[in-house]
């Protein structure tokens, strides 16, 4: 059983927020990965704004197979204008018939 941490990243007094998930137990390691990789919308935003004040907060833990649903749940709770994420975590069900 793989446990995933759903987290948010933000800078105090800045309404922008990024929602993500990781299997890493230490969120500080995930934050370091964001800082060094530069391959997500969060990396681009926080590189521009400055990494020094970025806070990473664990929102919940869940099973790996539930991670996209739970990540999307937290994304949907944010003001869309303040969400740094550019992609949905969970795609809409495409198995429904199209009329």
Contacts of 67 (CB under 8 A, 6+ apart): 4, 6, 21, 89
In a domain, 37, yes or no: yes
pLDDT of residue 14: 96
Q: Domain range spanning residue 9?
A: 3-82
In a domain, 96, yes or no: no
pLDDT in tens, 4-60: 999 999 999 999 999 999 999 999 999 998 988 777 888 889 999 999 999 999 999
Task: Please state the rounded mean pLDDT for residues 72-99.
Answer: 75
In a domain, 51, yes or no: yes
Looking at residue 37, which CATH number applies to its domain?
A: 3.40.1440.10
Residue 61 has pLDDT above 50, yes or no: yes
- Determine the Cα–Cα distance for residues 30 and 98; give it in Å rounded to an integer: 40
In a domain, 69, yes or no: yes
| Predicted model pTM | 0.85
* Total domains, the chain: 1
User: Using 50, 70 and 90 to split pLDDT, how confident is the model at 91?
Assistant: low
pLDDT of residue 94: 41
In a domain, 41, yes or no: yes
Residue 88 has pLDDT above 70, yes or no: yes
- Determine the Cα–Cα distance for residues 23 and 33; give it in Å rounded to an integer: 13
In a domain, 38, yes or no: yes
């Amino acid at each position: 059983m793989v446990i995933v941490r759903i987290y948010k990243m933000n800078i105090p007094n800045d309404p922008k927020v990024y929602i993500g998930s990781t299997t890493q137990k230490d969120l500080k390691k995930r934050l370091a990965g964001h800082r060094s990789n530069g391959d997500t919308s969060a990396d681009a935003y926080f590189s521009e704004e400055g990494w020094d004040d970025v806070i990473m907060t664990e929102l919940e833990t869940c099973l790996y197979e539930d991670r996209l649903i739970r990540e999307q749940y937290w994304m949907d709770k944010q003001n869309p204008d303040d969400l740094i994420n550019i992609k949905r975590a969970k795609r809409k069900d495409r198995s429904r018939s199209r009329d």
